[in-house]
Every structure is written in structure tokens, then in C-alpha cells.
Copies of this chain bind each other. A is one copy, B any other.
Amino acid sequence: MKKVYTKPKSLKDAPFHYCPGCGHSIIHRLVAEVIDELGIRDKVIGIPPAGCAVLAYNYFDVDMCESAHGRGCAVGTGFKRAQPDKIIFTYQGDGDMAAIGTAETLHAANRGECITSIFVNNAVYGMTGGQMAPTTMLGQKTTTSPMGRRPDVEGYPLMITDIIATLKGAAFVARHSLATPAKILAAKRSIKKAFEVQMQGLGYSLVECLSPCPTNWKVTPVEAFKLLETRMEKEFPLGILKDVTKKAKG
């Protein structure tokens, strides 16, 4: 029989340390598959975050450089400016990208840095144990919003992806979800597009993936994936928010 689905080459042979049903490793796989398909493994430099994916360098079989919490896009800028021919991606959680890293993310996008950000939105701080994230939804209970996020006290879920889509330096911006296999494949298509846009030198690209954190949502993995559809996608509408290659054609 023919093997039709197996581990991508750009991943090492290490078992993941993530919780059962965590979205991070699915997204790792998508990125690795894209790297394989584009044949760019030997040109890629990845920048994992401080967050549950901090150990991503143990999984990706490409050059990887850790970043301080939130500074992925600044570190990425350093790499890209120093080596414009390399392909740089940052991999960041919602806290990393949209709280402490707000300025770095926004300004890298605004400068049109040709880097790609994979933005894993699980609406919570996973690694540190379930605190409120900028993307925590109204009413959602976390350890630091024990009464559920209240708009008048903790503010609103921050739509950082939508903000970035408004920036002229951003070339490709999309939001996806891992809720179903079809959606997972759609996310992969956008990740591929994001890398391609970078390779064409068109500017900053970002793919947000709504991703489950069963542990901190305190539900089973299957429930968590359902919540992606029934809850998160309502707050964070899916879609391609910006694609300069489309505009060019249109």
C-alpha cells in the first residue's frame, strides 16, 4: 500500500510535549509541510516564542532562534535585514503577539518586513497556566479574569489581525481555524501563500490560527475543537483579510 499521509521532513522525530488535543502541533505540521512543499528548508529561519511553543525548535528541523517573550517580529527583522535572501517566520501566541509584543508586531508589519508570522490564537495564556489573553473572549473565565472577561474592566478581545490588515506594509493577512480537517487544510493553504508572498518580497504576512487549548479551557479535546466553531469563530470571523496579490490582479 502507498503511504499517503506521513510526517513532513522539516519536522524532527521528537514526540510533542503539548497537551492532548493541543492545536500547536497541528500548526507545526502545517508549517513544516509548507516548508517541504516549497523546498525551502535550507533557507528558513524560524523564531519560536515564549509560550507553549517555546520548544518548537525541538520539533522543526530548520534553523531556529528563540525570542524573548513578544519580540519575535523584532528578532525576525534583525534576521531579515541581515540576510534578505533567507525566509523568516515567527511563531507566536496571542499573549506573545498581541500583548507584550504589540509594538513589535505592528511596527514590523507597518515597515513591511518580509517575514511571515504564524499567530496561534487560543484565547488564553497557555504556557503560564491559563491567564487572560488579549484575545480572551467576553465572559470567558481565566485565572486572571475569574469573573469572566468584562468589557468595562478588562476590555475587549483585541483584533490584532484585523488591525494589521489595515497596515500598508502587510501583504497577506488571513484568519483560519483548526475546527475541522477542511479548515485545517485551508489554514495550510494560507500559510503557504504567506510564505510565497514573503518570497516575492511583497511585505509582511500573517496567518492567524484559532487553536484549541483544552487544558486551560478545561474541556476535552473534542469539546475544545467544537468550541472553536461554536464560540471562537463567532468572535473572530475567518477569512482572508488582505491579499495584495489579488489586488494586483483585480
Bound-complex Cα distance A169 to B156 (A): 7
Q: Report whether B107 and A99 are in contact in the complex, using a CB–CB cutoff of 8 Å.
A: yes
Q: A106 within 8 Å of B by Cβ?
A: yes
Bound-complex Cα distance A166 to B156 (A): 11
A167: B residues at CB distance < 8 A: 156, 158
Q: A68 within 8 Å of B by Cβ?
A: no
Q: A100 within 8 Å of B by Cβ?
A: yes
Q: A134 within 8 Å of B by Cβ?
A: yes
A112: B residues at CB distance < 8 A: 151-152, 155-156
- Assembly stoichiometry (copies): 2
Q: Report whether B168 and A110 are in contact in the complex, using a CB–CB cutoff of 8 Å.
A: no
Bound-complex Cα distance A106 to B168 (A): 18
Scan A86-129; emit 1 where CB is below 8 A from any B CB, else 0.
Answer: 00000000000001111100110011100000000000000000
Scan A132-167; emit 1 where CB is below 8 A from any B CB, else 0.
Answer: 001000000000000000011111101100110011
A169: B residues at CB distance < 8 A: 151, 155-156
A: interface residue count bin? 20 to 34
Bound-complex Cα distance A166 to B134 (A): 15
Q: Which of B100, B103, B107, B166 contacts A155 (CB 8 A)?
A: B107
A156: B residues at CB distance < 8 A: 110, 112, 167-169
Bound-complex Cα distance A152 to B81 (A): 12
Bound-complex Cα distance A167 to B107 (A): 18
Seen from chain A, the residues whose Cβ lies within 8 Å of a Cβ on chain B are 99-103, 106-107, 110-112, 134, 151-156, 158-159, 162-163, 166-169
Known: A99-B107, A106-B158, A107-B155. 5 other contacts (CB 8 A): A102-B102, A102-B103, A110-B134, A110-B156, A166-B166
Contacts A/B (CB < 8 Å), 13 sampled: A99-B107, A102-B102, A102-B103, A102-B107, A106-B158, A107-B155, A112-B152, A112-B155, A151-B168, A155-B169, A156-B168, A158-B167, A159-B166
